[in-house]
A and B are shown apart, each in its own frame.
Chain A
Amino acid sequence: MDAFLRLENPTEAQRAYRRWTLLWLTTAFVLFAVVGLLGLLMRLNQARWLSLPPELFYAILTLHGLGMVGTWFVAGMAVLGQILQRYVNPSLRASQIAYFGTLIAVLLLLTATLIGRLGVGWYFLYPLPFYPSGVWPLWASWVFLAFLTIAGLSWTIWVVDYLRAIASRYRLSEALAWPVLFRGRELDVPPVILIATVSLVAGLIGLLAAVVLLVLYYLEGLGTGLRNDALLMKNLTFFFGHVLVNITMYLGVAGVYALYPGLSGKPPLKTKRYVAAAWNVALLLVLLAYFHHLYMDFAQPLWFQRLGQIASYLSSIPAAVVTIVTVLALTYGARGAWTPSRLFLFLGTMGWAIGGMAAVIDSTILVNFRFHNTLWVPGHFHTYFLMGVVLMLLGFGFRFVHELSGHEEPPARSLGWLVALGGYGFLAMFFYGGVLSVPRRYAAYPDEVASGATLAQLATVFVLLLLTGLIIYAWHYVRLLRQAWSSG
């Protein structure tokens, strides 16, 4: 059995770090369960089988969206820390600060949405937090700003610490594999260090944009008389949101690079020249692609719009091609059993390819004109999240508890089928909703798009299948948790 995660003779520090990773992952999975059920609740409401008051629906929408994005970001960061720990020394203290920061942030978000009924959507588009239309009290907006501030600060500390850890062993140019890229030199930098550096640098730039955004919010909210520019705020919001969501994807991919070779009985991957090239291109273009969120703001300079489409098309191709072909080549002729972890990493890569293409299609200005803010959008991002990153990180977690507790994995069969069928069925209803012009974020569908309700009914059935699969997963995971903890 390959033991990438187990290590032969772990030091006390390594064991402590492992326990924290276990705590992070378990916390994330619990949060996933809670906010995932809220997703089911929304689908039931859109199916007309429930009738929540709209203010509750939109509060739930906000909680689900931000809860999910945050949950999978921290899960990805925790997995990355565990991987980095093989090569460098991320600080346990920074991870602990991030953990408690995240817990406080979760409490604040729950308070603002469930008690305060704050419904601003996951990207809280300026100036909506200042226009509650009589639904939420002013304090809820402040609690929400506090949530963003605390989450942002603690995550920044975490990201900076990982970068510090990497920098203490590699120079930045090495960590970005520039000697390989530009001079074709052999270099002892594993691909996960490269992917981590790309993700963390981009993440830090994204978080800086979030700081600017928050400061502008505070200045206006505190009554300094500043009136912000809506277009500028939108650019900042989507720059931050786009980068955060994209690097979360990359964090899952780092898990694939770290684990998939071993699970397929192959040696670890090397940082070849094309790998270096692909991820450096990703770093450059991920920062420009966000313009595709503003295509329908015709006031935005035309060249930004065109740049957005070009960057969106090109940013995804190199890293995806390199990763996909690598995973396929590792799979072909690998023998070995299809355990849940191996299957989830494999399916996760496939979900990235499928969801990524749906995103590229929607990043075509001409197409976006018909798909923007329809259900196509949740269709594509749920694909590369739910059937992409989430599967990758669930796969990692599964492997983790099995290696730590010293158990062999069970066969994947029913678990794999339930998750794949349930997941893609659920997603298909979003995509087809987009084809039928059903708007996203509607608590109830008006007559023009009443077909949305039928699709939501079908979707709930698939969600139940998915849920069954996830319950089987949870059963395996929880069973080994205690043993994994004590041997960790």
Chain B
Amino acid sequence: MTPQMQAFLVWLLWVAVIGIVFGIAVRGSSSSSPPAPERVDRMRLLMLLVLLVLAGFGLGLTLPRAPYPTAAEVPDRVVFVMGKQFAFALSEDPITNEEEYEEAIAYGSGVEVRRGELIEFRVSSLDVNHGFSLYSPDHRLIAQVQAMPGYVNRLRTRFSEPGDYSILCLEYCGNSHHAMRGVVSVR
């Protein structure tokens, strides 16, 4: 199951709970007598406690697994990514200006890497914000980071399966935003 589906199911569970609770209130709106204030207070406290515990649980479970690079790991390979309306240039050599961008893009918006290696993408932009994303060969979003002018964002990924990973632009950047793309070929 994809992480997206897991998140979706958590939400659906919540929707079901809310649906039931609100449904009970609607049914009770014609047949029952009003609840005693103490019962309402108890329910409020209970709901608050349950949600706070769940929130604490969620924070403890997910915060340590945030996808930011750590000093503990050393990448096996560095790939430089530069965004510019409307294509990504990728290269194993640094891309810092228009010239290097044109040079890198002359071979197309792609790069080859080996499976199993820890790759560090150093992502930036020459004009506006773009969104650098990686779609697995079965078209699921597996990683992303913003490409921002004046900053370098470092995204680390390990590709476990070989194949072509599409890069789509995930930050609205103008007229051809939906056509701005690239590819990482994993061998």
- Scoring A296, A322, A325, A357 by chain B CB atoms within 10 A of each residue's CB, the highest score goes to A296
With a cutoff of 8 Å between Cβ atoms, the chain A residues found around residue B139 in the complex are 437, 448-449
State A64–B110 Cα separation when bound (angstroms): 35
State A23–B168 Cα separation when bound (angstroms): 45
With a cutoff of 8 Å between Cβ atoms, the chain B residues found around residue A310 in the complex are 59
Q: Contact check: which of A317, A328, A367, A436 meets B48 at CB < 8 Å?
A: A317
B59 close to A313 (CB less than 8 A)? yes
Stretch among A105-113, A125-133, A164-172 lining the B interface? A125-133
With a cutoff of 8 Å between Cβ atoms, the chain B residues found around residue A131 in the complex are 85, 127-128, 174
Nearest chain B CB to A353's CB is how many angstroms away?
A: 5
Residue of A nearest to B24 (CB): A332
Knowing A317-B51, A369-B143, A437-B140 touch, does A231 contact B151 (C-beta < 8 A)?
Answer: yes
B176 close to A54 (CB less than 8 A)? yes
Q: Contact check: which of B10, B55, B168 meets A448 at CB < 8 Å?
A: B168
A296 close to B146 (CB less than 8 A)? yes
B178 close to A54 (CB less than 8 A)? yes
Stretch among A145-153, A190-198, A297-305 lining the B interface? A297-305
With a cutoff of 8 Å between Cβ atoms, the chain B residues found around residue A372 in the complex are 131, 144, 170
Nearest chain B CB to A426's CB is how many angstroms away?
A: 15
Nearest chain A CB to B118's CB is how many angstroms away?
A: 16
A353 close to B18 (CB less than 8 A)? yes
With a cutoff of 8 Å between Cβ atoms, the chain B residues found around residue A325 in the complex are 40, 43-44, 47
With a cutoff of 8 Å between Cβ atoms, the chain A residues found around residue B107 in the complex are none
Knowing A54-B176, A119-B174, A128-B129 touch, does A370 contact B141 (C-beta < 8 A)?
Answer: yes
Query: Is A358 on the interface with B (CB-CB < 8 A)?
Result: yes
What is the interface size of chain A, counting residues whose CB is below 8 A from a CB of the partner? 77
With a cutoff of 8 Å between Cβ atoms, the chain A residues found around residue B68 in the complex are 298, 302, 305
Chain B interface residue bracket vs A: 35 or more
Query: Is B72 on the interface with A (CB-CB < 8 A)?
Result: no
Query: Is A473 on the interface with B (CB-CB < 8 A)?
Result: no
Query: Is A446 on the interface with B (CB-CB < 8 A)?
Result: yes
B172 close to A329 (CB less than 8 A)? no
Q: Which of B1-49 contact A (CB under 8 A)?
A: 2-5, 7-8, 10-11, 14-15, 18, 21-22, 24-26, 28-30, 32-35, 40, 43-44, 47-48
State A437–B129 Cα separation when bound (angstroms): 20
A373 close to B170 (CB less than 8 A)? yes
Number of A-B contacts (CB under 8 A): 220
With a cutoff of 8 Å between Cβ atoms, the chain B residues found around residue A327 in the complex are 25
Query: Is A1 on the interface with B (CB-CB < 8 A)?
Result: no
State A435–B3 Cα separation when bound (angstroms): 9
State A324–B14 Cα separation when bound (angstroms): 14
- Scoring A135, A310, A338, A370 by chain B CB atoms within 10 A of each residue's CB, the highest score goes to A370
With a cutoff of 8 Å between Cβ atoms, the chain A residues found around residue B63 in the complex are 306, 309, 365
B148 close to A328 (CB less than 8 A)? no
State A306–B67 Cα separation when bound (angstroms): 12
Q: Digit string of B131-169 for contact with A (CB within 8 Å is 1, else 0)?
A: 101010001111111101111111100000000001011
Besides A361-B11, A448-B139, 14 other A-B contacts (C-beta < 8 A):
A128-B129, A134-B175, A328-B22, A334-B34, A361-B7, A364-B62, A366-B3, A369-B67, A370-B142, A372-B144, A431-B11, A435-B8, A442-B177, A448-B168
Q: Which 3 A-B pairs have the closest CB atoms?
A: A437-B141, A333-B34, A442-B178
| B interface with A by C-beta (< 8 Å) | 2-5, 7-8, 10-11, 14-15, 18, 21-22, 24-26, 28-30, 32-35, 40, 43-44, 47-48, 51-52, 55, 58-59, 62-63, 65-69, 85-86, 127-129, 131, 133, 135, 139-146, 148-155, 166, 168-179, 181
- Interface CB pairs A-B, < 8 A, 18: A54-B175, A133-B86, A134-B175, A296-B144, A299-B148, A313-B55, A329-B43, A331-B25, A336-B29, A350-B18, A354-B15, A369-B67, A373-B171, A437-B140, A439-B178, A444-B178, A446-B181, A448-B135
